[in-house]
Structure 1
Amino acid sequence: MTIIESNAEINLPVAQVYQFLADMNNHQQLMPENIYNWSSTADTASFTIQNMAKLAIHISEKVENERLVAVPTEKPPFDLSLAWSVKENGSGTTATLTISADLNMMMKMLAAGPLQKLADHQTTKLKEVLG
């Protein structure tokens, strides 16, 4: 399993950051420019990644003010999960995005870089949007 992580420090209470992340409609604001055909509800999102794939995800696990996990609703080319965790850090909240992907060696060489860029982009945008 390939694990990719990125985090951001946000000067807001955990509950406020969690509420934003718990609504998939808000995640469009965190996506890079190569994401299009976005469609979402509070618990689901579907979108197309330019030159790659169409992906539909739904929130499969929620732990109030702690953790959210989103997984594909249809079988993707490889098993994947996107997990957000939020923790109090004294001056606000640390939000961490963890992408877990079951990649073979070839897929890891192709996908690890773009997945890390996606994770970093989302945490940077989260800080901008909520900052």
Structure 2
Amino acid sequence: MNLESPKISVSKSPQDVFNFLADIKNFESLMPENISKFEVLGDDTFLFALKGMPEIILKKKEVLPPNKIILGAAGGKIDFSLIANITEINEASSDVQLDFTGDFNPMMAMMIKGPITKFIETLATSIPKAI
């Protein structure tokens, strides 16, 4: 299953956006209002939970400055990635798009598609306000 957030324009350089997203503590400011838990577990790992959903641990898997950060599931029963793609518009602005990829059975994919789509849209649209 592959889902994409809308492209969001940010009035910051790609390097500034990259630096913000590379610091996993900053993801707390991007979370939706229905977050019930956020905890930094290490320099590259954090745990979060939304009301009514299980806890999810994300770990920074790969960084390609200043254009891409890949977070992946750390443990748990499902394997997925959340990829932040940062594209330069000019020196002072950039576009950010979040991609979610995961390998789910059709029933699970049908159940989580709506909530995951809303979640990555919330993360993406929060970036310009949070930086």
TM-score computed with the length of structure 2 as normaliser:
0.91
Q: Which residue of 1 aligns with 2:11?
A: 11
Measured after TM superposition, the shift of residue 30 of structure 1 is: 0.5
Match of 1:89, SS state, is strand
Q: Which residue of 1 aligns with 2:94?
A: 93
1:58-77 to structure 2, matched below 5 A, reads 58-76=59-77
1:35-114 to structure 2, matched below 5 A, reads 35-40=35-40, 41-76=42-77, 78-90=78-90, 92-114=93-115
Structure 1 gap ranges (5+): none
Match of 1:32, SS state, is coil
Distance in 2, Cα, partners of 1:74 & 1:16: 30
**Runs of 4+ in structure 1 over 3 Å off:** none
State whether residues 35 and 49 of structure 1, in contact with CA within 8 Å, keep that contact through their aligned partners in structure 2: yes
Could you tell me which amino acid in structure 2 is paired with residue 80 of structure 1?
F
Structure 2 gap ranges (5+): none
Count, aligned residues: 128
Match of 1:9, SS state, is strand
Could you tell me which amino acid in structure 2 is paired with residue 59 of structure 1?
K
Could you tell me which amino acid in structure 1 is paired with residue 130 of structure 2?
V
Deviations 1:4-33 (A, max 9, x none): 111211111100000000010000000012
